[in-house]
Amino acid sequence: MKTLKGPGIFLAQFMGDQAPFNNLKSICLWAESIGFKGVQIPTWDPRCIDLQKAAESKTYADEVRGIVEDCGLKITELSTHLQGQLVAVHPAYDAQFDGFAPQSVHGNAKARTEWAVQQLKYAAKASRNLGLQASATFSGALLWPTLYPWPQRPAGLVDTGFTELAKRWMPILDTYEEQGVDLCYEVHPGEDLHDGITYEMFWEKTGKHARACLLFDPSHFVLQCLDYLTYIDHYHERIRMFHVKDAEFNPTGKQGVYGGYQNWIDRAGRFRSLGDGQVDFKSIFSKLAAYDYEGWAVLEWECAIKHPEDGAREGAVFIRDHIIHVTEKAFDDFANTGSDEAFNRKILGL
């Protein structure tokens, strides 16, 4: 068994224009001061990192790592969630997702996809230069508008969609293989990879690519009414990253999973700060320890109620207290009588 690393914190939701959240050094000093041991870096935020430069210059990558380590922290992983989303975008979402890309590719879906693919490849090389083992992303979605089968989906539509999705991701996955880095898809509503079955469909289309791994975030499964503990049993060999995020699902006589177009505070399913939701983290941490998960436990703060700084401060303690320092001996070793083959055969009457 392995002891999880942590607590870590995903910086994306905390970066801002005011100190200490406006540059990598100051936000790392803040994170360390409230108990975090690692930071997950959003690669689209230039206040944190110049992704292309980190891919092309080991010297610059060492400088970034030095800033973090001088603050008493480690870089847990790089995140390319926003760029990964743009690898595959249904035309219905073109206008909304243009905001994730540079102005130069707005209104040009082909150029936007090419930019996103290059960003993912940069992240693979930057991860290697930083000495990281895994990176986080989204899969993007070609099929999401057809999630509910009305109007009836044409025969073969889903297969065509997953075939194209895998085709777009294969060159990226091959780059991660070349760099020795796992690419971990966050299984998430709004992505074509939104549950275990859809991950399997994609993975099969990639020829079960060794680098097509998983980021486990139970909060998204609470909102889907999916058994997130059994999910770990199914996919523990593919899980290489862990977002520690809480959620609650409280359906009423007026709304359920789909949310009725309500804002987050009024939805039946909503994300909460750690300890304020319904996720069984004691069982999750136990399962991950038993399955030899050796990565980081990283807080992703999303809450419609609590202030982010309170959520972060409480979250560091929450994760620290849930990490299991695994035992190196059996509890009944004191009663061990020793054995050898002859003794075992004697016990069995052989």
Q: pLDDT per residue over 189-237, tens digit each?
A: 999 999 999 999 999 999 999 999 999 999 999 999 999 999 999 999 9
The one-character DSSP state at 4 is P
Average pLDDT, the chain: 97
Cis? peptide before 171, omega within 30° of 0: no
The one-character DSSP state at 294 is -
240, 133, 146: which is closest to 187 by C-alpha? 240
CB 182 within 8 A of CB 152: no
CB 246 within 8 A of CB 276: yes
Mean per-residue pLDDT, 107-114 = 98
| Alpha carbon distances (Å) from 323 to 34, 80, 288, 292, 293 | 17, 26, 10, 13, 12
Tell me the pLDDT band of 328, cut-offs 50, 70 and 90. confident
CB 88 within 8 A of CB 164: yes
Cα 280 to the center of its chain, rounded Å: 18
Burial pattern 274-311, b for ≥16 Cβ within 10 A else e, equals bebbebebeebbbbbbebebebbbbbbbbbeebebeeb
Separation CA 158–CA 201 (nearest Å): 10
In order of start, what are the domains of the chain with their CATH numbers? 5-347 (3.20.20.150)
Determine the pLDDT at residue 41. Answer: 98
Cα 21 to the center of its chain, rounded Å: 22
Q: For residue 31, what are its two tokens?
A: 């994170």
Cβ neighbours of 156 (radius 10 Å): 9
CB 28 within 8 A of CB 39: yes
Cis? peptide before 7, omega within 30° of 0: yes
Cβ neighbours of 195 (radius 10 Å): 16
Tell me the pLDDT band of 329, cut-offs 50, 70 and 90. confident
CA atoms within 13 A on the CB side of 163: 5
Q: Residue 316 — φ and ψ, nearest 5°?
A: -60, -45
Residue 331 has pLDDT above 90, yes or no: no
pTM of the model: 0.95
Tell me the pLDDT band of 332, cut-offs 50, 70 and 90. confident
List the beta bridge partners of residue 38.
Answer: 8, 74
Cβ neighbours of 269 (radius 10 Å): 22
Cβ neighbours of 327 (radius 10 Å): 11
The one-character DSSP state at 89 is B
Determine the pLDDT at residue 327. Answer: 84
Determine the pLDDT at residue 193. Answer: 98
| Alpha carbon distances (Å) from 48 to 26, 103, 231, 242 | 10, 20, 33, 21
Determine the pLDDT at residue 245. Answer: 98
Tell me the pLDDT band of 337, cut-offs 50, 70 and 90. confident
Separation CA 192–CA 336 (nearest Å): 52
pLDDT digits (tens, 9 = 90+) for 127-176: 999 999 999 999 999 999 999 999 999 999 999 999 999 999 999 999 99
Residue 39 has pLDDT above 90, yes or no: yes
